[in-house]
Amino acid sequence: MKKTKKALASLAIAGMVLSMAPVSVFAADEDTRLAGADRYLTSIKIAEKAYASADTAVVAAGNPNNLVDALAAAPLAAQEDAPIYLTDKADMNDDVVKSMKALGVDKVIVVGAAASKAVVDELKAAGFTVEEVKGAGRVETAEAINAKLTAPAGTFVVGYDGVADAMSVASYAAANNYAIVVTNQNGTPNGTVEADYIVGGTTRVKDIAGAKRLAGADRYDTNKQVIAELDFDFGTVYVGNGLTLADALVGSVLAAQTDSPIALTDGKTVKADIASNLTDDSVIVALGGTAAVSNAVIDAVKNPPSTGEFKVDTVSAVAADVFAVNFTKAPADASKITFEVKQGTAPVTVSATWDGAKATLKKSSKFVAGTYTVVVKEGDKELANKEITVTEQKVAKIEITSSKLGVVTNNKTNEQTGYATYKVVDQYGVDITDAALANSIQFISGVGNVEARKGGLLVVTPTNGLNLLTYTSGIVITANDRNSGASASATLQVTSQMGTLSDITLNKLTNVDDKELTAGNSVDVFYIDYTATDISGNPTNNYELLEQGLIFKDGTKELTVSSTYVKAELVKDPKDSTKGLIKVTTTNEPIDFEMPLTITAMTWTGKTSQLNLTLKKQAQVHSITLLAPDEAVASGESATIPFLAYDQNNKAVTKYSELEPYVTLSGAEWKKNNDGTASIKSEKVTNNSTTSVPKIITATISKSNSFSSITINIQKEVKADELVLDASVLKTLMQESKGGVSAAEQAIDFGWDEEGLSVKDQYGRTIDMTTAEKAQPYKVVPHSDNDSIVAVSGEATSGKTQIQLQAKDAGSTTVRFDLIDTRLETGKNVVDSKSVTITVLQDKEIKDYVMDEVSKPLYAAGTATAQDKAYNANPKVWGTTAGGAKVVLRGTPILSATVNNGRFEVTAGATGGVAYDGVKVVANKLPDTLTEASATLSISLLGADDAVHSVSTEIKSSKATPVAESVNVVYDTSFEGISYSDETITLKGATGIANSGLAVGVSLQAYNGGVKTSSEIFFEAKDQYGKKAKSFDTIYVDANDIGFAVDNSGKITAMPTKDGKVKVTAVSGSMVKTVAINFVDVVAAPVVNKDALKAAITDAQEVLDAAVVGTEPGEYPQAAVDTFANAIEAAQAVVDKADATEAEVATAVTALATAKTTFEAAVNPEVEDGVLTSAAVEAKAGAIDGLIAVKVTFPEDVSAVKVIGVDGVAQEKTLTDGSFANVVGELNVGHNVFEFEVTLSDGSTETVSITK
């Protein structure tokens, strides 16, 4: 049966899923199953059946976490007429290599995570031409692959983790040429996408205008919606596991050939309606083994359960914390079924999980005894309203599971211990042996004490003098639960066998990472899978029973091992100490050759089991192959020589410590990279001839007689040969100048800001013109054929330099850029030239205006710091011609910039007065209730027609924490004394250090504490917002003896005191970047004598310590004390500063001396024995002298003095002889104007105002 085709088209599909194979490859006459030994062999099987020969093959990663990386690999394979193979991303599959060679493959396209260095190197070594197609992440990888495809006409959009959703549409996309686009984690695709279908819910993919959404409650329901919506041929139907997906990925290749659907199963059911579309001739094909797709699932696809009425069958309590609801059949849509549990009127929270036609309602704790109602609904329809009576959980059954009592006798003390096992279940049949409820059970025996231990173990300790082995008729153990009344009794036969185990079998050696047992590696841990039975014949893994039942080496828990390089011992399971594991490890000792070994386990009952293993020789480099450098090697250069090195187990060896001691190089040397790996660097050779000079490089491993040799041709000395002009950086249209308005301008440089220029040497290699020393003899000089149309200025050289272009009068002219070798004489120094035609338009030719889109959301950081402000959007505003071409605008046309949401803020250009590229907007911090925001940025500008125009664009913000997507180290070797080579920045002498900006207090990350660094050497992390303002988690410097140090934030705390190299590492999440800094010709700072400053601090501190704070004469004001203490602290900071100069020390000494003098002068004055003479006359004259320094008793002519005002504030305080001096002294501190009322002896009064 085939549904009617819809008119849908285009190209490209998802994940390694859809390579085009001939239709007749997999014919089937009956139901079948496609299953290889593993996913890699399955891919080989399909490839070899699909293609008898092929020139090209596609290789993708088969690792579970990387399946999504290859989402677009299949259309690329179809386009290239190539089969798809799977490999482990860390190691190229040898069987795949053999298969590709058998098909005659010459070129291999490696996609996504499979494009690792190990895989690519192995493919190259095998003789294939390799092309890598990958991006920084899964989204970018899909984009990179789709970029190589013919433009698709239709598109599916799936979520970031939507592999299963992609699988649902995979075969349809292949048959109908549909592309699959992967969104970012926030559910939006990069850029603008015209989608036909969205696959998956809104949590995975945001709404896209014009696109129809195919989504269900889960991946299986989505699969159901897809199969119901799209047109498939049901002559053959494929069924794949919706969790593992790997087999479904490979099987979708087949489905695409016959327009067949892929139905996804959870291992038990298939939600999609397949049966109604099947005919008698339809074939069901299982993708994978029975563990992935069972025979029962296949039967259910062909013969689904009864379509009778869907209703509730039973509702019951099945555990102390679980209710079970059984239905007559599985629901069509489980998301529509709701459950409400109440005890009386109080709602009870439960979580529902489905298993076919059964729903389990689990409570986070036990149900309290009582009556509960369970209401089940499908939408608004009530399916059931049931009452369940819950009784308090209790011990319902006690079972002594042993039939024999194992007896162990201590050889030293002759004390006996008996062992047996037991089990306890509650009224629901749930095992509660180790639950607290079982603690109320009392075990009793007439022969002594019985202790119940965790793990269901009974330990019998006989009464003194009793011999358990004499109880030939058996020993009775009874158990009683004091709370429930449950009881049990058993008569255990006493066995004369020694120990607690009747048998043990060692099955196999296991390792969580599937590693092999290898000598010299004590880190890797292995465990032996075993089967043990106790004396009663019951299976057991109880640690105590194993401990008492196995024979160990004296004083240990070790089993017998035939090799001293391996140890096998009984240990407690870290997850459950009642259980025993047999742990196997190797020593650190190396061996010279692979050796067999035997591990033996023996019980006291005489049973023996042996496990025969092979101990692999420790990993050691065994073979090496030198490869030719990727680029030409010129005179005076040291090239990196690629190589492939493997140990005797055919595993790649890359570490310096594992290569340098064993591989001898000639014509080259080993170099240790910052990450511990090794590189081979060729010796520098000078070539002054007119032809290339051969250089032979060899690598020898004497132990394995491995030898490799290559010859590289040393070319003539490097020189600049070609200037490359990226015309897309320059806009070829500019607005004419007018009046006094600043002209339209644009810039071009070598990449430090605008980019657009680059230089290649004679060997086609790009020269780093911004930082490389070899770039410094060259510069680019601009020339305009008509300066009255376009004026040019500036030169582009190494470092931070630019060429400026300025529009003048309307017209067209050619701007030429000459690459100059400054070492040659004028007239002969032009190496190469490039030209571009610039047209300056009249105002009337500008018809409209447009603003750049802001494609990425802004990080909602706010504007508190420079770092926050770095998360800005800076869209440019352009004029446009009638044909829509962009025009660079003159002057400052922006009148205003606004946003319609307070969650954003315009930080530049809000009130206009800025150029076409001058508007900046940031996102303010969001409240806890919001995770994102959006707004419209509107910019008004004065157009060339003198009318006001408005342009706008949508902007968004997010509070998602910035996550580094790449980490880089920034440096500038255009400065004297700074150079870079092989991940090492070299700073030579004081000049190099000074030009680098490195100094105490300077940060090695772009932003530290919100402040941008002043260093020319720093780390920066580019995040998902496209900005380079993210702070690092930590920056650290390896231990060194040259004194260079930084704190965790990367701020330099000490500069080097001598020559040496340090490694600096920056960490941001999972991203790590390491660079070495080599300090050469370090001039140690002179030793500055700080003794005088230290002595001054000691003296000042003594003065401060002796001072008393107060208002009494001889005491000091608090403000004066604080000021003096701060001065002492500042002086101490100079003492503590490691690189303090003599001038700084001298200044500190002077400053502290001044502070001391000022402090001592601030003391409250002592009262002098002065006399208020002629008080009456002076009062009449309007002044009283001597109030600053007065005697204790009043003068003869004064009978009273009252304070009535201080600094204009009314007061009233009568002074006595005893208080006069104190009050005046108090007023003297911190005040200026005093008013007194003086009463003379004749009774008259005078008001006196005194200004201090």
Edge to edge, what strands does the sheet with 757-761 contain?
720-725, 757-761, 766-767
* Residue 151 pLDDT exceeds 80: no
In this predicted structure, the answer to whether residue 1016 has a pLDDT above a threshold of 60 is yes
What digits encode the pLDDT tens for the residues 582-639? 999 999 898 888 899 999 999 988 889 999 999 988 888 999 999 999 888 988 888 8
Region 760-784: what's the mean pLDDT?
82
CA nearest 157: which of 116, 202, 122? 202
Tell me, what's the pLDDT at 983?
Answer: 84
Residue 832 has pLDDT above 80, yes or no: yes
**Residue 1221 pLDDT greater than 80, yes or no:** no
Compute the average pLDDT of residues 527-546: 92
Q: Name the DSSP class of 677.
A: B
Q: pLDDT at position 10, please?
A: 30
Of 58-67, 698-707, 1239-1248, least confident by mean pLDDT is 1239-1248
pLDDT class for 7, splitting at 50, 70, 90?
very low
Tell me: pLDDT of 275 over 90: no
**What integer pLDDT is reported at residue 1197 of this predicted model?**
66
Q: Is the alpha carbon torsion for 438, 439, 443, 449 positive or negative? A: positive
* pLDDT, tens only, 643-653: 999 988 788 99
Is the pLDDT score of 1229 beyond 70?
no
Per mean pLDDT, which range of 51-60, 678-687, 1191-1200 is the poorest? 1191-1200
- % the chain with pLDDT above 70: 89
pLDDT confidence of residue 68: 66
Residue 464, burial from CB neighbour count under 10 angstroms (0-12, 13-18, 19+): exposed
Q: What pLDDT, on a 0 to 100 scale, did the predictor assign at position 307?
A: 58
pLDDT of the residue at 282: 84
Closest Cα to residue 36, out of 96, 97, 102?
A: 96
Mean pLDDT of all residues in 503-528: 91
Give residue 1174's pLDDT.
Answer: 38
With beta carbons less than 8 A apart as the criterion, state whether 999 and 1057 touch. Answer: no
Q: What letter does residue 190 receive in the DSSP assignment?
A: S
246-272 pLDDT per residue, tens:
766 666 766 777 888 999 998 888 888
Give the other-Cβ count within 10 Å of 980's Cβ: 19
Asked if 264 and 241 touch (Cβ cutoff 8 Å), the reply is yes
Q: Give the H or E element holding residue 503.
A: strand 501-510
Lowest mean pLDDT among 284-298, 543-557, 1029-1043: 284-298
Whether the model clears a pTM of 0.75, i.e. scores above it, the answer is no
**Pairing relationship of beta strands 32-34 and 766-767 according to DSSP bridges:** unpaired
The burial class, CB within 10 Å (0-12 / 13-18 / 19+), for 1209 is exposed
Q: What is the pLDDT of residue 859?
A: 94
Q: Is the confidence at residue 1092, as pLDDT, over 70?
A: yes
CA distances from 1167 to 25, 1108, 1112, 1114, 1214 (A): 117, 17, 10, 10, 19
pLDDT digits (tens, 9 = 90+) for 16-72: 333 333 333 333 333 478 777 777 887 787 777 667 788 999 898 888 777 766 556
* In the predicted structure, residue 876 carries a pLDDT above the cut 60: yes
Q: Give the lowest-confidence range in 3-12, 835-844, 909-918.
A: 3-12
Euclidean distance between CA atoms 207 and 188, whole angstroms:
9
pLDDT digits (tens, 9 = 90+) for 654-672: 999 999 999 999 999 999 8
Res. 1181: pLDDT tops 50: no
The residue ranges of DSSP E strands in 616-736, in sequence order, are 621-626, 633-634, 640-641, 643-647, 664-666, 668-672, 678-682, 693-701, 706-715, 720-725, 733-735
Q: Is the dihedral of CA 143, 144, 145, 146 positive or negative?
A: positive
464-505 tens-digit pLDDT: 889 998 898 899 999 999 889 999 999 999 876 677 898 999
- Exposed / middle / buried, residue 1208 (Cβ in 10 Å: 0-12, 13-18, 19+): exposed
CA 962 and chain centroid, separation: 10
Q: State residue 287's pLDDT score.
A: 82
Mean pLDDT calculated for residue range 410-421: 87
Mean pLDDT of 551-575: 92
371 pLDDT band, cuts 50/70/90, is very high
Res 1088: pLDDT: 78
